[in-house]
Structure 1
Amino acid sequence: MSIESILTAVVPITVAGVLTVSAGYYLIKSDIEKYFTLRFTNAKKEDSTQLFSLRLQAHERLIVFVERINPSNLFLRLYVPGISAQELQALVLNEIRAEYQHNVTQQLYVSEIIWKVIRKLKDDTLAMVNQGVQGLPESARGMDLSRKVLQHMAEIADNPYDLTLDLIKKDIHQLL
């Protein structure tokens, strides 16, 4: 067999094969494009839906955080009859810090403004409890600290916990 006879046999088969594959490709080209378009579009929608769910959960957790560090709820939850003011202060400070640390990753899913307000609310709550214990005598009980902090809260014109909750709710409505 010579090269000429091999080429004479192979070339028409190769040309026919290329033409067949090309024709087949052009017949299903639109279907291939639709497949990849739908696949990437659905992946983006799934990612978007998952991110929305995570952001909504973060807002929910921050609402719970604000409610848990609100002094009216905090003292009610942590108060033990007969506890000293200093012991209650230590419990409250530890509880606030633990709650904050538990929710610190939520800053990934909320706006920077929301997170700054949450952090400031936590810091202000810690300061309020510390200031409350400073004016009390050494023999003060936990009830005295609770009363003093709650009286201070009653004197504030706009409750910062309610304002923070309103801000979080507005941010949620912007997501929707």
Structure 2
Amino acid sequence: MEQQLVELLMYSIPALITGIIAYFFFREHIKNENNRRLFLMQKDLKKEALPMRLQAYERMTLFLERIVPSKLLIRVAPLSSDKNDYEKLLIDNIEQEFEHNLSQQIYLTSDCWSIIVAAKNTTIQLIRKANMSEKTDTANKLREVILTEMMENQAPSSTALAYIKEEITTIW
């Protein structure tokens, strides 16, 4: 009986060791295969997402260029001489342009999006501040005050544009 137990152990122990080694080998192999598949899938997703991200940066660059006050004033002429109507028209134009590009935020980093929103809000505040100026009594005067402000200071969107350019370099 003792002899049979020794024989049983002589066959069982090598089989058990082989089974354990095979288990760990296949577990590592499966883990490596899953990691490889995940890497390839992410690589393909990045390849497909990169053009969309670049397009989002392009669209937001265009938005920021369009809300530069000097360019905005050239593009959007006053409909009447009322300064409040013109202020509303300018702000509505900025908001409409922004809403048109609202979906682009999913392709941008949250920092970049925050800077773009801040540039938009600062531009609107600049227009409102110019409208409240004592010098402003007509729509054309409002245009002059805003243009004078732009000659003295940098447009709010220029900071956001610089940030976008910097962020694009990290993508490459």
TM-score, length of structure 2 as denominator length: 0.71
* Cα offsets for 1:36-57 (capped at 9, x unmatched): 9998766543321111111101
- 1 CA distance for matches of 2:92 and 2:113? 20
8 Å contact kept, 1:84–1:141:
yes
Q: Which runs of 5+ in 1 are unaligned?
A: 1-35
- Equivalent residue in structure 2 for 1:169, among 159, 165, 170: 165
* Equivalent residue number for residue 105 of structure 1: 103
Q: What's the offset of the Cα at 1:131?
A: 1.1
* Cα offsets for 1:72-119 (capped at 9, x unmatched): 111100014754322211110101111111111111111111111111
Q: What's the offset of the Cα at 1:135?
A: 1.8
Paired residues, number:
140
Q: Which runs of 5+ in 2 are unaligned?
A: 1-33
- Equivalent residue in structure 2 for 1:151, among 144, 148, 152: 148
* Equivalent residue number for residue 46 of structure 2: 48
Q: What's the offset of the Cα at 1:161?
A: 2.3
Q: What's the offset of the Cα at 1:166?
A: 1.4
AA partner of residue 164 (structure 1):
A
> Percent identity between the aligned chains?
27
CA RMSD of superposed structures (Å): 2.5
